[in-house]
Structure 1
Amino acid sequence: MVKEKFKSLIRLLFHLSYKLCIKIGIASPTIVVRMDGGICSQMHQYLIGQIFKERGTNVEYELDFFKYNGKDINGVHVRNFDLLKAFPYLNFKSASSFKSHFYSLVYNYVGNYPYELSTNWVDLLPPRILSGYYADPSYLYYPLFQKVFHICSKDILDFENQHICTMIENHNSIAVHVRRGDLAEYNIAYGYPVTINYFVEAIKYIKEKTIDPVFYFFSDDRNYVEQELLPIIPVKIEYKVVQNGSEKGYIDLFLISMCKHQITSKGSLGKYGALLGMNKEKMVLVSKDDTQTFMFDNAPCLKIII
């Protein structure tokens, strides 16, 4: 009890001191957004910051996760800070370690999605540091996502992936995102992983609806694709398993976006790739129990639920 009162007193003193610094112009009230996870989590967190940025608020991003952790939930697959590799044109400012630690002590605001579905967090005023995860406001993907993100030059690709990109452009290409890793089992935010039968049915559907499709598989579990999924597909398909690995998720995102159509799974990579894609007649296939399909509600595409 005494310890908590002491901490509260310290926070109050720091808060009053910081308000004085703001008043005399040696500090600027800021929204700091903590970043973590893969390329799509980084994109999502960047968009959260842009909601405040568009109101004229100073926004900075904390990158400590990539310095001290940089792994998925299971601690297996690497998670690098790749946002600026994928989108080098972004106006990005990182928070200093001092500001991050100070804000964490005095101005921390923790999101609790999916338990908390309110979007009232968008009304927060600086100074604040946003930690955790937040429910998406309806305008996050349209128009904000479309305004902020667009495909960059192929220069972000290495030689091998430039070759794959050329193949994708020259084919009636279908991206198949097979997310495994830390989403191969139940996750509170995503639910259960999609079944292998979902991929079979989605591939059969695309095979029937398109002419000469070529399927490009993107996965963090190549063995699952090659040893479990491909052998049970009942129709003959032309395909390629792309082998970039989790450390090149931003490259897979680029290649998925270049495909004509997308078959998605749990997680965001396939969906974000579809949102980035320029084909306005694209089909985007989603699982019927996927909680993220709302992001296509206003998108220029045909959403197919399997």
Structure 2
Amino acid sequence: MNDKGPSRTAMIAAAGRAAHLIVDSAPHLFHDTVAEKLLGEHAPELLSYHRNSGDHPVLSGTRSQVSARSHYTEARVAAGGFAQYVILGAGLDTFAYRSPLAGAVAVYEVDHPATQTWKRELLAEAGIGTETVEFVGVDFESDNLYTELIARGFDPSRPALVSWLGVTMYLTEPAIAATLDTLARLAPGTELVLEYALPPELRDESGQVYGKFAQAATAQQGEPMRSMFSPESVTALLGRHGFTVADHVSQRDAVDAALWQRTDGLRPIDFCRLVRAQR
């Protein structure tokens, strides 16, 4: 979330979801049928990397990471029967523009105002309607997330599913804690799905290789990774903010086991994990 122009990490994540349907064989972990269209003029370049060098550990690791986490999180929206879905650091998320739940579930995309302006331009250029989403522009240094959500129609008395994917690793722990302070004000029954990066010593071999390349690349793009957690430390952090952890979910466990019975080279990596916690 920044005011320096389009987020390269947001584009990379969207390209990974789009490329998964192009480069990898069935069965697919996740079906994002809108990401390529949303990327517009950026799509040919970004997808060409996957087409030409799809076996590179960063590219294949990105496809598995973004596909598995989206599969798991959107399944939680459906399984939990939530009427409200808050997407923190929404970037180029496409749930509101393709999910059969869009319209039945009130979707609130939260991101920096500059990022949302850029996304809305991409949506308009792609001819994608926005009637199924509320945009909540928040500069966390000056705006109040809770107030801004309510101003856009969010009902704080009703439980929500809150996703926070691909973001915490780029924030400091105090910044993460400040957002958790706000989320602690949401209704009991609210569920949080948060993605966090593991420290190097807890990664598997594939995760270490991916991390070496990915951390250097994001730093070069001006979005360095700042925070890493063990399952124990993120559990403690969430506990201090009124959340009870229900599950820690590895990439392998984020989707049905049958989806990892593959004929291509896509494999789960242990670089990031998901934690599901409840108010």
Fold equivalence (TM over 0.5): no
Which of the two has higher C-alpha Rg?
Answer: 1
Q: Which has the higher contact order (CA 8 A, sep 6+)?
A: 2
Q: Normalization by structure 1: what TM-score?
A: 0.27
